[in-house]
Copies of this chain bind each other. A is one copy, B any other.
Amino acid sequence: MVTSRDIAQRAGVSQATVSRVLQGNSRVAPDTRERVLAAMRATDYRPHAAARAMKTRRSQTIGVVIADITNPFYPELLEAVSHALDQSGQRMILWNSAGPGEYSALQAIREGSVDGLLFTTVTEGAAPLTEALVHEEPVVLLHRGLEEAQCDQVVSDNVAGGSIVADYLVRAGHEHIGYLQGPELPSTAVHRERGFRRRLHQLGMDLRPELVGRAGFQHDTARTLIRSMLHEPVPPTAVFCANDLAAFGAIDGARSLGVHVPEDLWVVGYDDIAMAAWDSFNLTSVRQPIADLAHTAVQLLLERITDPDLPVRHELFTNSLTVRGSTAHTPLDPPAEQRDSHADD
């Protein structure tokens, strides 16, 4: 039987390096890693996982907790995480629920069935996270962050994302702007709203209460809310939705009333998931760099598992606006006449 000592000799490295490669430690130099992997392939080396776990105390498995797998943003994020884990030779355990899922995931760390956790749906005051941090368990927050939490976090700049949309809509001349909020707690929802409202305020355009509703990232709730806003005496000419799923609901709600997008109503979403590009939606949306977020989160988690004493890192990625047919203009140069016609509304 081929042993890790054979692999080390063949690749001309130490046994510790072979074991680091097996652990998916990203601080092995790429060419060293390649040499070790080539030696494994050449000898058909198959470390027995149980023996390996015994030696390294690693399960080579990462837990991921999400809140709602039927929101199509999460399958896209999971696919990206899964791809990044594959590249590091790690498996994924998925818990599809906040709350109980997080507790069950924490238990899995203690039982040694996962080495660390990616929380993608943590919210403020989340007890499981606090518990994980008290026990210094390897946890990385991905997508949703918590400013005060002393743990690695990989998020995109949702405040700036909200701000971009405020700029875009006001520059295009909209004076009656609606907002479909996300849920109350997630940082993504809180930050998008903060950036959007703050920039609107700077531009002298506060949201009217009757044009704000809590869609909670849900298609059906968004659909109901936009239908009610479109029946207001002064309906919105543009609506910003806290995620794409809500934006699809807004488009569906408009469609159900014969209100045309973008002629009568501009719709802007957030996430720019694959479906946003479909003809039925053709949605202008703030794009999150999902692959970069996932890759970095996996990287940080594997480093954290290997070295619990690393300083805490907060990685912030930039978002950008993808303009499509659910709005009528490019963000930086709206035609003056369109601005005027909206000003006459």
* A residues neighboring B (CB under 8 Å): 48-50, 59, 61, 69-70, 72, 74-76, 78-79, 82, 86, 91-97, 100, 104, 107-108, 111-113, 219, 223, 248, 251-253, 255-256, 274, 278-281
User: Which of A95, A111, A278 is the most central at the interface, judged by chain B CB atoms within 10 Å of its CB?
Assistant: A278
* Distance in angstroms between the alpha carbons of A253 and B61 in the assembled complex: 42
Find the B residue at minimum CB distance from A46: B107
* Distance in angstroms between the alpha carbons of A31 and B280 in the assembled complex: 50
* Distance in angstroms between the alpha carbons of A96 and B253 in the assembled complex: 34
Number of copies: 2
Question: Shortest Cβ distance from A103 into chain B, in angstroms?
Answer: 11
Inter-subunit contact A91/B104 (CB<8 Å):
yes
Secondary structure call for the A interface: helix
Question: Shortest Cβ distance from A63 into chain B, in angstroms?
Answer: 9
Chain B positions within 8 Å of A95 at CB level: 91-92
What are the nearest 10 A-B pairs in CB distance? A252-B279, A280-B280, A94-B94, A49-B111, A69-B75, A82-B96, A93-B93, A255-B279, A256-B279, A70-B75
Chain B positions within 8 Å of A219 at CB level: 278
Inter-subunit contact B69/A79 (CB<8 Å):
yes
